Chain A
Amino acid sequence: MARKITMTAIMVALAMILSYIEALIPFNFGIPGIKLGLANLVVVMALYLFGAKMAFMISMVRIVLVAFTFGNMAALLYSLAGGILSFAVMALLKKSKGFSMIGVSTAGGVSHNIGQLIVAALVVENLNLMYYAPVLVIAGVITGLLIGLAAKLTLPAIRRSMKN
């Protein structure tokens, strides 16, 4: 139990630091609202290392803490929507077998963007915002793919170090 709590705490801290690094470095894709989503790297890894329940907790705690420390409350709603939807999709895909980490992460990236867009459309009560969906889908594929690749490369090393 103590080990589990410690690992969760480390993962949350790691996710927060990645969020902070991302806020510091302007990854500019030339399109507003698009970013790499480095923190999702931790969520994807947690999903494979510790299972769905813990990964979900890490994701939620990270989002709330990051919104309080670096972000603002308005953005919290969007982060939560993206986080919850992408988590649900990733957990489902992982369970359904046939997908590797890369596929899971790609689907996560896309659904993260779509979740945020749905909330945005609800907030401004304007369905025209959905015009933005194709851009966000493509961006989600690219960022999700990169995160998935990074997760796949790092996972074995973390597994090894956890055995000790």
Chain B
Amino acid sequence: MKKKDILLIVVLLAAGLIGLLAVRAAQSGAGATVEITVDGEVYGDYDLDKDQTIEIKNDLGYNKVVIADGTVDVTDADCRDKICVNHAKISKDNETIICLPHKLVVEIKGGSSASIDANAQ
């Protein structure tokens, strides 16, 4: 290996890493929405990038959903098991928080899907 080879590799890797960090910073959940459904019906769609608090109150019960810094968390609920409250924050496409007693589903829907059509050989 020659000096120029190493230089080339280091420069390319550095450019890649810097780009990676820049992309991370630029698109933390960009364009993704948070969909809340109750009993199979859409309750509302919310922007993942906008910090907000959504309170869902109906005959089934009460849930408080907090969207902050590109993450979604259920911070309060009056259900028996509190599984939704104890659930970790979600931030990635297709992740969900579910409150079974209240038939509540909080899901992140991103623009892009991870599946691919074909590989170039």
- Residues of A whose CB lies within 8 Å of any CB of B are 19, 22-23, 32-33, 35, 66-67, 70-72, 74-76, 78-79, 82, 98-100, 102-103, 106-107, 110, 116, 131, 133-135, 137-138, 140-141, 145
Query: B58: which A residues are within 8 A, CB to CB?
Result: none
> How many residues from B make CB contacts under 8 Å with A?
27
Instruction: Please report the C-alpha to C-alpha distance between residue A72 and residue B3 in the assembled complex, in whole angstroms.
Output: 40
From A103, which residue of chain B is reached at the shortest CB distance? B5
B19 touches A70 (CB 8 A): no
Question: Whole-angstrom distance from the CB of A23 to the nearest CB of chain B?
Answer: 6
A145 touches B23 (CB 8 A): no
Task: Known contacts A33-B116, A75-B120; decide if A131 and B13 are in contact (CB<8 Å).
Answer: no
A66 touches B121 (CB 8 A): yes
B23 touches A141 (CB 8 A): no
Question: Whole-angstrom distance from the CB of B26 to the nearest CB of chain A?
Answer: 8
Query: A22: which B residues are within 8 A, CB to CB?
Result: 121
CB within 8 Å: A-B pair count: 85
Question: Whole-angstrom distance from the CB of B89 to the nearest CB of chain A?
Answer: 23
A116 touches B23 (CB 8 A): no
A102 touches B19 (CB 8 A): no
- Residues of B whose CB lies within 8 Å of any CB of A are 1-5, 8-9, 12-13, 15-20, 22-23, 26-27, 114-121
Query: A98: which B residues are within 8 A, CB to CB?
Result: 2-4
Overall SS of chain A's interface? helix
From A81, which residue of chain B is reached at the shortest CB distance? B120
Instruction: Please report the C-alpha to C-alpha distance between residue A110 and residue B11 in the assembled complex, in whole angstroms.
Output: 12
Question: Whole-angstrom distance from the CB of B17 to the nearest CB of chain A?
Answer: 7
Question: Whole-angstrom distance from the CB of A59 to the nearest CB of chain B?
Answer: 13
From B12, which residue of chain A is reached at the shortest CB distance? A141
Instruction: Please report the C-alpha to C-alpha distance between residue A33 and residue B119 in the assembled complex, in whole angstroms.
Output: 6
A82 touches B121 (CB 8 A): no
From A139, which residue of chain B is reached at the shortest CB distance? B16
A107 touches B121 (CB 8 A): no
Tell me which of A19, A100, A102, A134 contacts B23 (CB under 8 A): A134
B2 touches A99 (CB 8 A): yes
B19 touches A137 (CB 8 A): yes
Tell me which of A82, A102, A106, A145 contacts B120 (CB under 8 A): A82
A99 touches B121 (CB 8 A): no
A–B complex contacts, Cβ < 8 Å, 27 sampled: A23-B121, A35-B119, A67-B121, A71-B119, A71-B120, A74-B118, A75-B121, A99-B8, A100-B1, A106-B5, A107-B8, A131-B26, A133-B19, A134-B17, A134-B18, A134-B20, A134-B23, A135-B16, A137-B12, A137-B16, A137-B19, A138-B12, A138-B13, A138-B16, A138-B17, A141-B13, A141-B16
